[in-house]
Amino acid sequence: MDRRTFLQAGLAGLIGAGGIGSGWAQATPEAIPKRILWVNRAQTKEEGRVLYYQDQNLVQDGYYLLCYLLRDVQAEQITRMDLKLIDLLFAMQAWMRTCGIRQPLQIHSGYRTAQTHAHTEGAAPCSQHLSGKAVDLRVDGIPPAVLAKLAVRFKAGGVGVYPHFVHVDTGPVRVWKG
């Protein structure tokens, strides 16, 4: 078992063992005083490790930078991304880090304007992407199915597993396979 396989097994084991409490994403700010999200956009070659929450307060500049990084890169439009969604991404990344996986979240798609959405193949008509409440992502070396299992644990909303990415949103809790 090489290191990566070992780390993946560790992550899957943690998920399987029920090590992640559903309330973890809503943990008290005191428990997680500093929240940094590491994201990457392949389309624009942008990457950022962004501090967006500190000392029980939203860091406005960091939050806006994340909204920028999660924007519709085709239309070059920004919206206010749902903070609950950002916290979910943070929580997923924090859990991966506990398993030794230090990778940015590769964002395929975040916010989508109606026009971009209309041109997205296979997209649902009432997508949470339109209101800044959804992200399609992948992480190098982690199969989408494992990433989806991790996301489901937080019960934060919808989780869709696709061959090359995972969709997460903060709409109604549901799971599907794309």
Decide whether 72 or 136 has the Cβ nearer to Zn ion: 136
Nearer to Zn ion, 87 or 136 (CB): 136
CB of 29 to Zn ion, least distance (A): 28
How many angstroms separate the CA atoms of 96 and 122, rounded? Answer: 29
Chain positions contacting Zn ion, by CB under 5 A:
134, 136, 167
Helix (H) or strand (E) holding 11: helix 3-16
CB-based burial of residue 45 (10 Å sphere; 0-12 exposed, 13-18 middle, 19+ buried)?
exposed
CB of 101 to Zn ion, least distance (A): 22
For Zn ion, the closer of residues 16 and 122 by Cβ is: 122
Whichever of 54 and 131 has its CB closer to Zn ion, that residue is 131
As measured in angstroms, the least distance from the Cβ of 131 to Zn ion is: 12
Query: Tokens in use for 70?
Result: 């999660």
Quote the least distance from Cβ 167 to Zn ion, whole Å. Answer: 3
